[in-house]
Amino acid sequence: METPRRIVSLVPSLTELVCWLGGAGALAGRTRFCDSPAEIAGNVPAIGGTKDPGIARILALAPDLVLANREENRREDVEALSAAGVPVLVTDPCSVDEALRMIAELGDRLGLAGRAGQLIAETNAALAGLPPSPGTAVFVPVWKHPLMGLGAATYGHDLIVRSGGRNVFEDRQRYPPVSMAEVRERSPAIILLPDEPYRFGEIDAAEYSGIASTRLVDGRMLWWYGPRLPSAIRALSTIFMEARQL
C-alpha cells in the first residue's frame, strides 16, 4: 500500500495526531474545527465541518486518504466519498487500547511507525507509573439540555477507569440521558465538567457543588485520543487522588 500524500481529515483529534506524527505536509484538507496545531489554519484549507463537509470540495483536493470517525462524522458523507473511489479510514476507538492500536495503524499507513511507537510507549509508561487506586467515583456530563452523562463502551469512560477513576454510570452505555437526582443518588466524589462538546462553566460548577467536588477540565483531555493521551492519564490520576483526599 502506497503512503498517502494528500490527506483530508474530518476529525480534529486525528488532524492533531497526523501533525504530531510528522505528517502535516501531507494534509490537503481539514474541517473548520481542526485548529490544532495552530499553524494548520493558515496552511491547510477547510472543507466544512465534521457534520457538513463539502464533498465536492474534498473531491477537488484529490485526496488519496480521508480520515473519519464513526461518532463524529456522518455515514452518508463517508459513503459518498467511498463511492467516488476515495479511500476512507473510519476510526472508532472505544478504549485506550483501541486508541493505541489506531495510532499504530495510522503510523504504519503514513510511513511514520517510529513516531507512533514513541507515543504508544509514552502512553504505556504513563499507565505503568500510576499509583494504585480504589477507583474514585466520577460523573462526567457531556450535554446539558437534555442532561446526558458519560457511560461505558466509550473512549472517555475507559480513559477515566485506566487513570484511577470509577464512572458512576458504568452500567449505562455510551451517552445516556440522566437526571440530577440520579447523579446525586450515585454519590460521585468528583464531577468533571468539560468544555466540549457542551461548554460547561462556572455556573454549572455552582449547580453541581451541592452534590460533589467539581472541576472544570479541558474537554480535549477527555475526548481527543492521540498525543494528549500520556498527559491526560497523568492529569486525571492527579485529579482523582486529590478528590479522594477531600
**133-159 tens-digit pLDDT:** 789 999 999 999 999 999 999 999 999
Q: Where are the domains of the chain?
A: 7-125, 133-244
Asked whether this chain's domains 7-125 and 133-244 adopt the same fold, the reply is: yes
Cβ(204)–Cβ(130) under 8 Å?
no
pTM (two decimals): 0.93
Non-local (6+) Cβ contacts of 79 within 8 A are none
Q: Which CATH superfamily is domain 133-244 in?
A: Nitrogenase molybdenum iron protein domain (3.40.50.1980)
| pLDDT digit string, tens, across residues 113-128 | 999 999 999 999 999 9
Please name the fold of domain 7-125.
Answer: Rossmann fold (3.40.50)
Q: How far is CA 84 from CA 79, 88, 156, 185, 244, in A?
A: 9, 11, 33, 51, 53
Q: What angle do CA 167, 124, 112 make, to 5 degrees?
A: 120
